[in-house]
Amino acid sequence: MVSRENAVILLFMAVGLALAYGGRVATSLSDTVLIGVLLFVGVVAPQLVNGYLDAEDAA
């Protein structure tokens, strides 16, 4: 069974890759911006969401 943390990370990773690829195909954004989007959505956002959910579980 997949843990909640892994499910959140996988979901955000898939969304980040889709946004980065879609941004590459559909827009004229620079590679730096797209890498920033990928890092924020794939790394930072899941950490924030998991931290929030962990705090809610502890309360």
What are the extents of the domains in the chain?
Answer: 4-58
17-50 per-position pLDDT tens digit: 999 999 999 998 899 999 999 999 999 999 999 9
Rounded mean pLDDT, 3-10: 94
The model's confidence at residue 1, banded by pLDDT at 50, 70 and 90, is: confident
Residue 33, C-beta contacts closer than 8 angstroms, at least 6 positions apart: 23
Task: Round to whole Å and give the CA distance between 19 and 17.
Answer: 5
Q: Tell me what pLDDT residue 9 has.
A: 95
Amino acid, single-letter form, for residue 58: A
